[in-house]
Amino acid sequence: MVALVDCNSFYASCEQVFRPDLQGKPVVVLSNNDGCIIAANREAKSLAHIPMFEPVFKIKDRLIKEGVVFFSSNYTLYDEMSRRVMNILKDFSAEVEVYSIDESFISLRGMDHYDLGTYAYQIKKTIFQYTGLPVGVGIGPGKVLAKLANRIAKKTTGQHEQVYIIDSETKRIKALKETAIKDIWGIGKKHCIRLNNVGVISAFDFTQLSLAWVRKNMTVVGERIWRELRGEACMPIITVPKSKKMIGTAKSFGRKLENLELIEEACAYYISEVAEILRKQKSCARYLQVFLQTNYHSKRDKQYHKTYTLPLSVATNNTLLLIREAKKILYGIYKPGYCYKKVGVMLSGIIPEGQVQTNLFESPDNFTPPALMKVLDEINLKYGKATLTSGLLGSKERQKEWELIKEERSPRYTTQWKELLKI
DNA sequence: TCTGGGGTCCTAGGACCC
DNA sequence: TCTGGGGTCCTAGGACCC
C-alpha cells in the first residue's frame, strides 16, 4: 500500500501558522506580482466563490468587504515549512517520494500487520504537533488510487479526520464510480474531452475501456493510469530525486519596461539564480535559452515574443560566462518600441560537472573557473542571497525598477536570521 | 529488374502536474 | 491600471552511425 500525504491549502496554512490571530479567518495567497489567487484556505473557499487563477484585481474589492486577508507569496517560508514536513515523514517510512512542495508519497510496504488508519492519524497528529500544518492522508494499493483516496478524504471527511483508505474491491469500485474521469491524477483537459467523446464519464467507465484503445490513444502514460485504477500498482516510489534536466526562471516585471538596460539587469539576475541551482546539483548546461515577451493580456500594446536557444561550445555553470552569453542573445532578440513584461532564461542539456566535453580550441578554464564560483556560492550561502553578484545585475535601487510586486509579503519567519545577519 | 538491417541521439510538440 | 511560475514524460521524425 501507498499513502499520499498532502498539506491542506499549503501556502495559506503556512501563513496562518505564524499568525494565530488569523485562525478561523479567510486567507488567500497571491501569485508572483500579486496577480492572481493561488491558494485559499477552507474559510476563504466557503465564504464565496473564489476562482483560483482569476486576476485578483477583478474581485479584490468584493473580497476585502468580506474580510479576506491577502498575502503575497513567500516561497522562502513555504520551502522551509515543506522541508520540515517531509523530514517528519521520513520517520514514518523508509521510502518517501517528495512529489511537490506540499505532498509526498510514502510506501507502506511491510506494514500489513499495522492498522493503517491508526497509522495515518499518527502521521497527521505528529505533523500538526511539530509544524502546525494540517494534512490529509489517502491510502491505496498504488499511487493513483492513493491520490484518489486523498481526494475523497478531503471532500467527504471532517476537518480533523482527512483520512481515507481504499483497501477493498468494494471501496475501489465505489470510489471509481463516484469520481469523474477529469478528477483522476494524470487525466488533463485534452484526454478528458477525448474520453467524454467515447462515453467515458466516470473513472469506472475508463477502467472498462480496452487496454488497446487506451494504449493507442493515450500512450503508455494512459496505460499506467488504467492499470493503477484497476488495482495494479505500476508506478514506483522514487526516493532519490533525479537531478534536474532543465532549470529556468521567468518572472513578470513589476511594470512594463521598454529600456533594454533594465531588462538586461533582470536577465542577469535570473541567470545568477539558475546558475547557482545548477552548481548546487554539480552540473553544467549545454544550452542557454533566453526569451522576451510583451504583455499578452493587453489589447492596446503591440505584441512581440521571441525565443532564442544558444548551444554553448562547452557546457558550463559559470555565472559570469552565462551572463555574457545571455546578453548577446538578448541584444539579438530585443526590438525597440515595445513594452516588455517578461524576460526568461532556461538552461538545458544538463550534464554532470565531471562529464563536460572540452573542445580543442578553448581552455576549459574559460568555462568553469571553480574557485571563483565556489567563493561566490559560499559567501551567498553564509550572508544571504545575492550578497555578492556580478556588477551587471545593477544596483539594489535599480532592481526596484523591474522586480516583482509583493505588497503583502509576510516576514521570512523561519530563515530571517540570514537577512538580519546581512544588516 | 534489382536497392539491408539494426541501432542511437537529438529536437519539437503535445499533454500533464503542482 | 492590475492577468503566475516551474517543471516532467512521451512520441515521432530527422540525422547519423556501423
Task: Give the closest nucleotide to A33 (alpha carbon vs C1').
Answer: C4
Give the HSE-up count for residue A142: Cα atoms under 13 Å, Cβ half-sphere. 17
Label residue A34 left, alpha or beta by phi (over 0 means left) and psi (-120 to 50 means alpha): left
Contact A47, A93 (CB under 8 A): no
> pTM, whole model, 2 decimals?
0.90
Q: What is the pLDDT of residue A407?
A: 80
Rounded, the Å distance between the CA of A219 and C1' of C11 is: 8
Count of alpha carbons within 13 Å of A395, Cβ hemisphere only?
2
| Coil/strand/helix, residue A296 | coil
CA distance A348 to A366: 20
Dump pLDDT digits (tens) for A278-333.
999 888 888 888 888 888 888 788 888 888 888 887 888 999 999 999 999 899 88
Q: Where are the alpha helices (DSSP H) in A168-300?
A: 169-178, 189-197, 203-207, 211-229, 260-280
Predicted pLDDT of residue A32:
85
Query: Which nucleotide is nearest to A99 if distance is taken from CA to C1'?
Result: B18
Low-confidence ranges of chain A (pLDDT < 70): 48, 159-160, 360, 362-369, 416-423
pLDDT per residue as tens digits for the range A139-158 = 999 999 999 999 999 988 77
Q: Which domains does chain A have, with CATH numbers?
A: 1-167 (3.30.70.270), 169-240 (1.10.150.20), 247-399 (3.30.1490.100)
Closest residue by C-alpha to C1' distance, nucleotide C7: A246
CA A318 / C1′ B5 distance in Å: 44
A309 nearest nucleotide via C1' and CA: B11
Tracing cell 572540452 back to the chain, one arrives at: A358
d(CA A200, CA A202): 6
A154 vs A8: CA distance, rounded Å: 8
Round to whole Å and give the CA distance between A265 and A393: 5
- Nucleotides of strand B lying closer than 7 angstroms to a protein CB: 11-12, 14-18
Distance A192 CA to C11 C1' (A): 20
- Closest C-alpha to A123, from A101, A113, A138, A141: A138
Which residue in A137, A97, A185 sits closest to A3, CA to CA?
A: A137
* Residue A154, phi then psi, degrees to nearest 5: -70, -40
Distance between the alpha carbon (CA) of A19 and the C1' atom of C11, Å: 49
Q: For A147 and B10, how far is CA from C1' in angstroms?
A: 35
